[in-house]
Amino acid sequence: MKFDEDRVKKWLINSILFILLAICIMLMLLLLDLVLARYKLSGWDPLAFLGAIIGGFITLVGVRMTINNQYKMDFINKHPLKLKNCEDVFKSIDEALESVYYDLEVKDFYRLGVTFTNLLRRTDELNTKAASVSPLVYYKTTTILYHFEKWNSFLMGKSEKVLLQRELVELINAEIKQVNLLSIEIGETLIYEAEEYEKITRFRS
């Protein structure tokens, strides 16, 4: 089992806070007991009352630990597939963007069309995988694919016309930075999800 300094610190802080809370409750109960004794009111046991509070607190902690453990188990069981799907989406889009940059640089519009087609034929697959990661990744993926579809529609049947080629280049250059930014954000999501998975599984290795 690996040592996690942050987790130990958190446990110590929670323990100290619990002890301080217990002391405060005991002092309040003693004060209340003195007040009741002064006015000769009887029929209550401060220790029993304190025991009930502590018992309820322990029950609450137990329920919370059970819920957290269940969440961790679900997370551990489902997250590998989620990570793989996010990685597939990111790599597919990133590779397509690299190809677009290259195709534009060498002015190979036939290859550019192939790049569009290869990515767009996987639209349903990529959207499904993106949806399994998060709604935000799904939105970014559909937005990226929308731009690829737009570029592809402009290219279809027009690749032999120099003027339209120039217009296509201008169109892509105007939008590709936004598309690339969305791709980078998906990559950042992949890194974040991987870190979360490593954090939760750290004590199970």
Question: pLDDT for 46-67, tens place per residue?
Answer: 666 666 667 777 787 778 777 7
Predicted confidence (pLDDT) at residue 87 exceeds the cutoff of 90: yes
The candidate with the shortest Cα–Cα distance to 32, out of 53, 50, 55, is 50
Of 117, 106, 93, give the one whose Cα is nearest residue 169: 106
Distances in Å between the alpha carbon of 119 and those of 46, 152, 167?
71, 11, 22
Q: With bands split at pLDDT 50, 70 and 90, how would you rate the model's confidence at 187?
A: very high
pLDDT 10s digits, 27-52: 776 776 666 666 555 555 666 666 66
CB 147 within 8 A of CB 96: no
Q: Binning pLDDT at 50, 70 and 90, where does residue 151 land?
A: very high
- Crossing angle between the packed helical segments 162-201 and 135-155, to the nearest 10 degrees: 160
Pair 131, 82: CB distance under 8 Å: no
Q: Residue 138's pLDDT band (boundaries 50, 70, 90)?
A: very high
- 205 secondary structure, DSSP code: -
Average pLDDT for 169-175: 90
CATH topology of domain 79-204: Four Helix Bundle (Hemerythrin (Met), subunit A) (1.20.120)
Angle at 89 between CA 145 and CA 69, to 5 degrees: 130
Per-residue confidence (pLDDT) for residue 2, from 0 to 100:
45
Confidence bin at 115 (pLDDT 50/70/90): very high
Q: What is the average pLDDT score of the chain? A: 81
The 8 Å CB, 24+ separation contacts for 51-57 are 53/25, 54/22
| More confident site: 130 or 11 | 130
